[in-house]
Amino acid sequence: MGTYNLPRSVKGEGRILFIFTGKSMMYTVIGGSCGLIFYFLFSAFGLTMVGIVITVIFALIGFVIGTLKMPNLGKFKFAQKTGGENIDDIIKRAIKFRTKGRKIYIYKEEEKNG
């Protein structure tokens, strides 16, 4: 008798608390940390609730950046080129483009026939 591997669904096994991947958790914490600065500023003036709301908004922005992909929209030229890529990769590439003097270097490997 032979042995057979049974396929099983492994989707979601690398997630923390069912919604966070490692990358999205990191971006959420970074966004929430940035929001905490505003929380402390607003709580010094007695506006604690406003600070909490801003912290949650920053954490949600971090979650979106770490989780979602750019939609493939045909109407916009920018979305046609970046459709289906992670948003954080697009942001990293844009920052690198701006800091390198608006130049892009493409390295093309030569094909070897033989």
Q: Report whether 87 contacts 70 (CB < 8 A).
A: yes
Residue ranges of the chain with per-residue pLDDT less than 70: 1-2, 4, 6-18, 78-83, 104-109, 111-114
**Block residue for tokens 């591997």:** 5
Look up the pTM and report it: 0.63
Residue 98's pLDDT is what?
81
Contact partners, residue 71, CB within 8 Å, separation at least 6 = 79, 83
Residue 25's pLDDT is what?
81
Residue 57's pLDDT is what?
92
